[in-house]
Amino acid sequence: MESLGEKLRNARESKGYSFDHVGRETNIARRYLEALEAEDFSKFPGEPYILGFLRNYGEYLGLDVQELMSLYRSLRIQEQPVPVEQLLKPQRHFPKPLLIVLIAVVLVGLIAGAVYGILQIPRADPAPVVQNRTPTEYTLETASLERRLYIGDSILIPVGNDQFKMELISLGDSALISSPLGTISLDLSQEKGIDLDGDGLDDISITLSDFIRNDPSKGGLIRFDLAGAGDMDMAGTGEAGAVLAAAGGSAPAVSPEVISGSAASAPAIFTSPSAYPFTLQATFKGYCMFRWESDRREREERYFHKADVQNIQAQNGIRMWVSNASAVRLQVIGGGRTVDLEIGGPGEVVVADLRWVRDDDGRYKLVLVRLD
């Protein structure tokens, strides 16, 4: 049977890890790792350190932590010397009659205690009757509303002269909301845009901010935001002017209006007689929350780590949200060229559009426009 130190050493060597590598990953000093494998516990300032380091080291190596703890305790028991008095003095034995009397007294006491404990157990009260909750109906009277909704709760959303009703119908692995367009499924932190009146533009966005999976009793925190005039309009003109729209699902068709405002004055990344598809490559240099929407399709969001890479393809434009501008390196790839983008400084939260626009000369240019 392997000893404690051998089990740790064999597991580490089988994975090809060095002490320095394990130390960096677990924040355990090399001298303590070596002491654990050598079973030299005198190097530790106290037993809590031994137990803590042994648990972390074992979990990192994928070993059975309980088995490691048992091996450690066995070692400690073996290391404790037998008292000299026990070696020198003869063992004293109780007289058999006295031993029998003591055992009988203990048994009687245990039986009496058990009977008393059973008699003292209170009778369980009947379970309280759970009252059925009356569903609540809310009305969106401002630009946004955030409420904790429970199954059956609903919200009325005014769009033009009409009102549309949306109702929370289920909270399981995801939240299910009924709408005039059918059932909408939302995962935690997911945001969806909904076109209620069928005009091709999103009228409202819905975000599931908080809920506990498969526990409807806690409800779900849901946010409703009416679509504002500042959203990027990929089918016509928006706050910065005309933007490109996909035609027939293949080549981009560009609105004939001339772009004005901040987009018109933005420096051109690419210029061309006609717009063409491009790729935005995001290479992350640290932890960063990054959200994007390509060609007005469904928004996507991820929490990225150092060295992660995300490629986003678009025909017309991309809107991006970045939690830390210095944590990501952005490059635009298109037309056989690659260009670096600078969107902000360290710690800066940035929202920006990368899109094709048409200048006064009728040429198209790809520009980066920050949205403040």
pLDDT band at 115 (very low <50, low <70, confident <90, very high): confident
Say yes or no to pLDDT of 205 above 70.
yes
C-alpha to C-alpha distances, 148 to 131, 168, 203, 221, 264, nearest whole angstrom: 19, 11, 21, 4, 43
In degrees, rounded to 5, the angle at the alpha carbon of residue 46 between the alpha carbons of residues 41 and 47 is 70
Considering only residues 182 and 130, tell me which one the structure prediction assigns the higher pLDDT. 182
Please give the share of the chain, as a percent, with pLDDT higher than 70: 82
Q: What is the pLDDT of residues 134-145, one digit of tens each?
A: 999 999 988 888
Residue type at 178 in one-letter notation: S
- The mean-pLDDT minimum among 239-253, 280-294, 352-366 falls in 239-253
pTM of the predicted model as reported, rounded to 2 decimal places? 0.34
Determine the pLDDT at residue 13. Answer: 93
Say yes or no to pLDDT of 239 above 80.
no
Chain mean pLDDT for the chain? 81
Determine the pLDDT at residue 263. Answer: 65
Give dist(CA 104, CA 100) in Å, integer: 6
Q: What is the pLDDT of residues 35-53, one digit of tens each?
A: 999 988 888 888 888 888 8
- Rounded average pLDDT over 150-179: 92
Beta-sheet pairing, 162-171 with 175-179: antiparallel
pLDDT band at 117 (very low <50, low <70, confident <90, very high): confident
- Rounded average pLDDT over 92-120: 81
- Rounded average pLDDT over 276-292: 94
DSSP labels, 308-357:
-EEEEEESSEEEEEES-GGGEEEEEEETTEEEEE----TT--EEEEEEEE
Q: What is the pLDDT of residues 306-330, one digit of tens each?
A: 999 999 999 889 999 999 999 999 9
Residues 315, 243 contacting (CB under 8 angstroms): no
Q: What share of the chain is helix, strand, coil (3-state, %, to 5)?
A: 25, 35, 40
Eight-state DSSP code of residue 228: P
Considering only residues 79 and 346, tell me which one the structure prediction assigns the higher pLDDT. 346
Determine the pLDDT at residue 83. Answer: 60
Determine the pLDDT at residue 180. Answer: 87
- Rounded average pLDDT over 283-291: 93
C-alpha to C-alpha distances, 183 to 194, 201, 217, nearest whole angstrom: 11, 19, 21
- The mean-pLDDT minimum among 195-204, 309-318, 335-344 falls in 195-204
Determine the pLDDT at residue 94. Answer: 56
Determine the pLDDT at residue 91. Answer: 58
